[in-house]
Amino acid sequence: MVRTGLDSGSASGYEAEARAFGELAMTPQSAALRSLFFASTALKKERGGNAQPHALHRIGILGGGLMGGGIACVTATRGGLPVRIKDVNETGINHALKYSWDVLSKRVRSKRMRPAERQKQMMLISGSTDYSGFDQVDVVIEAVFEDLSLKQQMVAEIEQHAAPHTIFASNTSSLPIGQIAAKAQRPEQVIGLHYFSPVDKMPLVEVIPHATTSEETIATTVALAHKQGKTAIVVADRAGFYVNRILAPYINEAARCLLEGEPIESLDKALVDFGFPVGPITLLDEVGIDVGTKISPVLVEQLGPRFAAPAAFDAVLKDGRKGRKNGRGFYLYPSEGQQRQRHKRADTSVYILLGITPKSHLQQAVIAQRCVMMMLNEAARCLDEGVIRSARDGDIGAVFGIGFPPFLGGPFRYMDQLGVEKVVKTLEYLQRQHGEYFAPCERLQRMAQQGERFYPQGS
C-alpha cells in the first residue's frame, strides 16, 4: 500500500488501503476478534445475578503469598479500595506489600506514575497478624493453602470476627465451594472467586456460587471483580470449575506426547505456533507442577479416569520439581546471581526421570490437534452440564484464562468455524488411534447429527 501510494499517488494509496482493510475485516480472524470484544464489553455490564450488589468500602485478604499479594494489589491500585491483609506472620504481610510496591515502582520507573501517587496507593494496603480491622470489611478473599479443613476454619473465624454482612470469597482452584461452606453459619454469603496467576496481568476471574449462595452475594462479588479491572464469568461449583477443567485434558495430552518421546521444546513450539502464548509444558512450570497434581485427583474422583495424568509423571514431583517457583521443573532456571538465558532450555534430566529418549517424530500439526481437540471436547461437555452459562462465557474463559488463540475466538467459535461434524470425525479418528479418552461427548455427536452450531450463522 505504501509502495502504491509512492508510485501512483496518494489517491491510489488510499484506495489500496481501503480495499486491503475491507479484505481483512471480512476474514474469520476479524470476526472472531470482534466477537470477543463485544462479549467482554457485554460481560462488564452484567451483574452475574438478578440482585443489586452491596456497596464496597473495604476488602480483607487472608494470606500474604503470591496470590494474596496480587489480589491486594489489583484491589487497591485498580479498585481504589482499602485492603486489610491477615497472615500468620509479618513476613507474609511484607511479601504482599512488596508485590504492590514492585508493580507500582515499575510504573514510576517508566514515568507513568509519580512517586507521590505510588505512596498514596500503598497507603491503601495495611496488614496484621490478627483480625483487627476485619469488623469493617465488606468482602474477605481467602488465599491460603489448598486444605479443606483450613478453609472451613477461615470461614468460621471470619464469621466470628467480621461484620454480619461480610462475604467470604475463596480463591480455591480445586476444592468444592459447597464443602468450604458446609459448616458456615451464613452459607449464603460464601462464594468462590478464582483468580489466575499472575493476578495483576491475567484478566479473568471465575465467580463460583454453590447451591445456596445468594443472588446478592453473586452480584457483589462480580461488582468487586469489575472494580479490580477483571472480566468475570459465573461458573458452576463442579470439579475444576471451567478453566482448570478444560486445561487438564490439554496438558495431559501434551504429557502423553512427551512420554512418546517428543522433546519438551518441540511440544511447546507446536502449541505456540498454533496460537497459544506459551506451550503446555511451559504453562505447567509456570502454574506449578504441584498445583496440577492437587487438581488432578479431584477431577478424577468426580469426573472419571479421562482426567488421570500419566502415572509416569509422579516421578517428576517426587524429584522435588515444582516448576519456576522453586527453580526446578521441565526447564532450566538460573539460580540467584546467574545470568538469565535468552532462550529457555529444557532440563534434559527430566527425560532420564521419565525413562524416555527424546526424538522429534510427531508433526507439529498433529501435536496441536491432539491437545486442542481434548480441550474442545471438554468445553462442549461443560456447556452441556451447565458448568458455564453460555458458549460466549466459555470462549471468554478460555481466551482470557488460558490464552486460547484470540484470533480463533475461543473453543466454541473455533468449533463453529471448523464445523461440529468435522470436530466429531477428528475426535473419532483420534479415539481409534490413541484411546477412549478422545471419544466425542454426547453434545457434539447430537449437534453433528442435527447440523447445529454454537452461535447463530453470521453472528
Reduced to 3 states (helix: H, G, I; strand: E, B; else coil), residue 262 is coil
Q: What is the DSSP string of 397-429?
A: HHHHHT---GGGTSHHHHHHHH-HHHHHHHHHH
CA distance readout (Å), 175 to 32, 188, 193:
33, 17, 12
* Cell of residue 82, nine digits: 482499602
Separation CA 416–CA 87 (nearest Å):
47
Whether 206 is a known active-site residue: answer yes
CA distance readout (Å), 293 to 87, 242, 246, 438:
25, 17, 15, 21
One-letter amino acid at 367 equals I
**Residue entry with cell 470477543:** 36
Q: What is the DSSP string of 309-364?
A: PPGGGHHHHHTT--BGGGTBSSBB-PPTTSPPPSS--B-THHHHHHT------S-H
**Residue entry with cell 465451594:** 177
Among 41, 54, 43, smallest CA distance to 219 is for: 54
Residues near 45 by beta carbon (within 8 Å), at least 6 away in sequence: none
Q: What is the DSSP letter of 214?
A: -
Catalytic residue among 142, 159, 206, 265: 206
* Cell of residue 280, nine digits: 503446555
How many residues can be counted in the chain?
A: 459
* Cell of residue 295, nine digits: 487438581
- Strands in 204-209's sheet, in edge-to-edge order, are 125-128, 83-86, 59-62, 139-142, 167-170, 190-195, 204-209, 231-234
Please check whether residue 407 is in contact with residue 29, taking contact to mean a CB–CB distance below 8 angstroms. Answer: yes
Helix (H) / strand (E) element for 105: namely helix 90-109
Hey, which residues are catalytic here?
Answer: 206
